[in-house]
Amino acid sequence: MVAVPAPAKVLVSGTNGYVAVWVAQKYLEAGYSVRGTVRSATKSAFLKDTFAKYGDRFELVVVEDITKDGAFDEAVKGVDAIAHTASPFHFNVTEPEAELITPAVKGTTGILNSALRHGSTVKRIVITSSVVAVWTVITDSKPHTFSENDWNDDAVERVKAHGKDAGAFHIYGASKTLAERAAWDFVAAHKSEISWDLVTINPPYIFGPSLTPAPGVDDINTSQRLVYDTLTGARKDSGLKDQASWAHVKVVAEAHVRAINTPAAGDERFIVNSGAFFYQDILDAAAQLGVQNVPRGEPDSTKGIPILYNYKTTKAADILGLKPEIPLKDMVDESIKDFKARGYPGFEA
């Protein structure tokens, strides 16, 4: 039941990522200092400018290979909390173990091990997990509401049975499930030796504007690319009737702050969900916003289709005080402004 109030120092792994830049920004805004780890100093040089106004409250260190034993040994020294976000998130998988599962699992157990052995000042660790570690494929076509008690062991079984033929989505699901399970197992195994407790944040697709430079469309992260592809017509026809859930990137980042400054958050998983959506809803929102040159899809085509995948969000509301239910339209508006500012194809001035 410890908490880490500001000012305190937080280690944020993978700070150059889409979600992590927002996470670091929210910590800095809340009065924390941030030590960010990145794989490549050159690629992450933009962070020095992004966070210049926070002076020496932001520092950057390079951890080249998060799967190497002891990779985070130096980085954890002197920090009060850790937010572990670094993990591969993409669907171009040819080698499940090497590309997704090993970095997810070893990155997680590695940072926990470093905290155990060298993080004498660490009081809390937050891991960016996902609802892909929670939900499972619905086979009875009936609506389900998943909660923090659920685990996606099904994805792990699928990958065990079918390897890369399990499909990228299940491979990613397996990577997050195995990584989060490994984290909770680590805590259980080392309970008497550790001075910190664990929190996981489990969001669905995270959408909203980016703080990364993402110079080209191919540099947009995997989730925000879904918004871009919908608005530019790459996702169409039956793809517009696909349903999923989303969380606003600023809400997810705020959840990481509350996860360390709320005593009762310790030893808990939190689903952070802004709501369910059909991809058609993104086009409907653009239409309502009066955005030109965006396909309209089939505006009424999803009416009456039940939402099968639902999530309980009361725990994040009750313990973290999070109110993540913000309108999809606001996120679409912000995303379009972001794409326009970057001059991405389809959004040129």
Indicate the residue among 164 and 287 with the shorter CB distance to ligand NAP. 164
Is 62 in contact with 38 (CB distance < 8 Å)?
yes
Task: Find the helix or strand (DSSP H, E) in which 200 lies.
Answer: strand 197-202
* Smaller CB separation from ligand NAP, 128 or 152: 128
Specify the residue, 208 or 266, whose C-beta has the smaller distance to ligand NAP: 208
Structure tokens at 258: 């509350």
Upstream peptide bond of 7 is cis (omega within 30 degrees of 0): yes
Half-sphere exposure of 143 (CA within 13 A, CB side): 10
Cβ proximity to ligand NAP: between 115 and 133 the closer is 133
Q: How far is the CB of 332 from ligand NAP (least distance, A)?
A: 16
Q: How far is the CB of 73 from ligand NAP (least distance, A)?
A: 16
The full length of the chain comes to: 349
Interface map 117-156 toward ligand NAP (x if CB under 6 A): -----------x-x--------------------------
User: What single-letter amino acid sits at 318?
Assistant: D
| Closer to ligand NAP by Cβ: residue 105 or 300 | 105
**Residue 324 binds ligand NAP, judged by CB under 6 A:** no
- Check residue 36 for interaction with ligand NAP (CB under 6 A): no
Contact stretch for ligand NAP (CB under 6 A) within 18-26, 233-241, 253-261, 339-347:
18-26
**Looking only at residues 175 through 214 of this chain, which bind ligand NAP when binding is defined by CB under 6 A?**
176, 203, 205-206
Q: Which of 256, 255, 246, 258 is nearest to 208 (CA)?
A: 246
Cα–Cα distance measured from residue 182 to residue 196, given in angstroms and rounded to the nearest whole number: 16
CA 43 to chain centre: 20
Q: Rounded to the nearest whole angstrom, what is the least distance from the CB of residue 207 to ligand NAP in the complex?
A: 7
> Which among 47-55, 85-93, 146-154, 284-292 is the span making contact with ligand NAP, rule CB under 6 A?
85-93
If the CB atoms of residues 29 and 219 are measured against ligand NAP, the closer one turns out to be 219
Q: Give the residue closest to ligand NAP by C-beta.
A: 17
| Interaction between residue 83 and ligand NAP (CB under 6 A) | no
Site string for ligand NAP, 255-274 (x = CB under 6 A): --------------------
71 is an interface residue for ligand NAP by CB under 6 A: no
Piece of 17-25, 53-61, 277-285, 338-346 that binds ligand NAP (CB under 6 A): 17-25
Give the total of residues touching ligand NAP (CB under 6 A): 23
Going from the C-alpha of 28 to that of each of 6, 36, 67, 98, 314, the distances in angstroms are 9, 12, 28, 34, 27
Q: Is 335 in the site for ligand NAP (CB under 6 A)?
A: no
Instruction: State the pairing for strand pair 275-278/243-248.
Output: antiparallel
Nearer to ligand NAP, 39 or 301 (CB): 39
Contacts of 67-72 with CB under 8 Å at 24 or more apart are 67/102, 67/103, 67/106, 67/107, 67/110, 68/110, 69/110, 69/113, 70/110, 70/113, 70/114, 71/110, 71/111, 71/114, 72/11, 72/13, 72/37, 72/110, 72/111, 72/114, 72/115
Q: Is 39 in the site for ligand NAP (CB under 6 A)?
A: yes
Residue with tokens 């619905």: 138
The H or E element that residue 57 is part of is none
Nearer to ligand NAP, 121 or 147 (CB): 147
Interface stretch with ligand NAP, choices 13-21, 118-126, 274-282, 324-332 (CB under 6 A): 13-21
Residue 310: phi and psi, rounded to 5, are: -120, 155
- Bridge partner residues of 58 (DSSP): 34
Structure tokens at 267: 């030893």
Binding residues (CB under 6 A) for ligand NAP: these are 14, 16-20, 39-40, 66, 85-89, 103, 128, 130, 176, 203, 205-206, 221, 223
